[in-house]
Amino acid sequence: MDGNKPEVRTVILRGFSETDRTLICHCDVRTPKVSQIRDNPRVSWLFYHPEKWIQLRFSGTAWVHTDDETAGSQWKKVRQTSRINYCAEIPPGLPAEKPTSGLPDFLRDTTSKLFDNTKARKNFAVIVCRFDEMDWLWLKLTGHCRAKFHWEDHRINASWVIP
C-alpha cells in the first residue's frame, strides 16, 4: 500500500465511459489489488499518449464487481483464450517453489478449451472506477500546458495550472 492507498500496477483498460465517468479493468478476485481497493477505494489511473505527448491522471472511487450484471457482461467479453488467466489453482501472489503460471498441469499441456469455465468465472472480477478528478498535461517544446478538472455531482470545475 502507498500510504493507505492501493499500490501501483499496470492494467489493461477494458472500458471507458465519458458519460458515466468510469474506467474499467479486469483482474483475478484473489489478488491483493482487490483487497487493497476494498480497504481503500480511492485510486488513480495514469495514461500517456507518446504521439500526442499528453499525460492524463484520473482519480476516483473504485468498486469490485464479482457476482452481478456488470461482472457478467464483462465476462462475456473475455475471450476463451484469456479466460485461462483466471484458472490458477493457487491464488495469485502466493509464493511458489519454482517458476510457474500456477495453472493445473492438464491445462498447460492441452488446449485452453478444456478448462472449467465456471471455476474461471468464480475467480474473475471487474474493477470499475468512477473518476472525479482529472489532471491533463500537454508537453510542448514551447512550454507545457496543464489543466485540472474536478467533478462534484454533475458540476465540473476546470482550471489552468502552472505545469
Ligand X SMILES: Cc1cc2nc3c(=O)[nH]c(=O)nc-3n(C[C@H](O)[C@H](O)[C@H](O)COP(=O)(O)O)c2cc1C
What is the binding site for ligand X (CB under 6 A)? 9-12, 25-27, 31-33, 92-93
Q: What is the three-class DSSP state of 82? A: helix
Give the Å distances, CA to CA, from 82 to 51, 67, 98, 103, 117: 29, 19, 23, 13, 11
Shortest spacing between CB 142 and ligand X, in angstroms: 33
Shortest spacing between CB 31 and ligand X, in angstroms: 4
Shortest spacing between CB 68 and ligand X, in angstroms: 19
Name which of 124 and 131 has its Cβ closer to ligand X: 124
Name which of 35 and 55 has its Cβ closer to ligand X: 35
Are the beta carbons of 9 and 93 closer than 8 angstroms? no
List the beta strands (DSSP E) in the chain.
15-17, 22-28, 42-49, 54-65, 124-138, 145-152, 155-161
Name which of 30 and 146 has its Cβ closer to ligand X: 30
Shortest spacing between CB 28 and ligand X, in angstroms: 6
